[in-house]
Structure 1
């Protein structure tokens, strides 16, 4: 994921940018961080150099992503606090093993792990069932979950409630962009939001809840997908790691697709059998 470049202006303008992004006043931030509005003002204008502890405290209250917290520290003249590992490094061996056990234990239901720009870093056999028949250019690593789902040659033509599901995914990306300044994520959003809808879905609005006052028969918005003439329904759950101390780990998300009805669950179990 792209980082925010540390500017020569120092940490103050960067902190001010994050505060304004969160729509907090200096007083509100000061109250949350057990400081004073005067001190926050001095930090933002460069009249006071914040301690490393203060930077991390402010970043925590501003919900600054771990990657960008390193940028703040560098801009203030401190060393980065958080490492950035690759997933194949020995120090992350326990993480890899845990992810593999989790994905394998979830089968036959689909589950995958993505990074901060939805690049697929791991997936189980249940995902392979859904991706069967897609073109090679979408499945050649590095695969991207958003691209696979919304591309007109991907899953999009098979998703029966595509306008709603697409609206949900794009809203999810917009929420992420509000919490991050990742240029690569923004570029991905611009790409996938510009994909044309399949003809059957053109002109259809994309609400994320029941229409016309109907009661939704599912407990959450499902993705309803045509699989070899059979309708499969899934609801999505996303998990992240609490209090990550590594940039790479902080950006991982585990998505599990839970069968939304007994027929979907039975069908997947029959394939496994």
Structure 2
């Protein structure tokens, strides 16, 4: 019925031809056993390592034909389950995957070394669904993770043969956790996104003055740092972003505020408090207080 060789991940495996005829229906269990026993163990391991590193694979036409011929009902059911699962995983409000690790901020890069199996699965799913997004929260002793966090978008992933990966992400939006959950070992959450409240009139005039004043204060603090410290910050976070002409133009507020919050010597809980603020005025006042504190504390 079939030829004797198929190729997958550069592995050649020989199989005996299957008998043809109306009375020669093959039992699925026997077919799977034959396929399993014919795979070379060392080669299969090497093929898996290559796939884990490159995430590239060749379709095995023989296996596909066998599945369609002998497992058509099971294949259709599995496709249906897979489509429903992908649709569910793509909903970035109802069940957002949560990476519990560190503080993350909008517009700020957040490189990750992923080695835990649960997070490897989470990253793979975020790539397969096409969302390329997940939430980042710091840990909470009682709830598992904090009630606020930042959505991250994957810009690039480098996979290694042992399954680990280095993931280049950047913050895109803040969120509030409405409910905590779990899926296949990793945390999930139902969330709502946070946006700054806009102001007008005299409030806007005062906000613009405060914005310019705190930015100048931040620029003065950064330029006063020693060269080695500045170089370390720049190599990881880049230069201090330019001052926004319209501080209310982005729902998350000015990018320079998040850059400053990421580089200032603050504990995670203090950073989280500022992250949750949905009034730019409150955030600017908090940052100004921190700048005053670190400036006074610096040894002369």
When normalised by structure 1's length, the TM-score is 0.29
Specify which structure has the higher proportion of strand.
Answer: 2
The answer to which structure, 1 or 2, has the higher relative contact order (CA under 8 A, 6+ apart) is 1
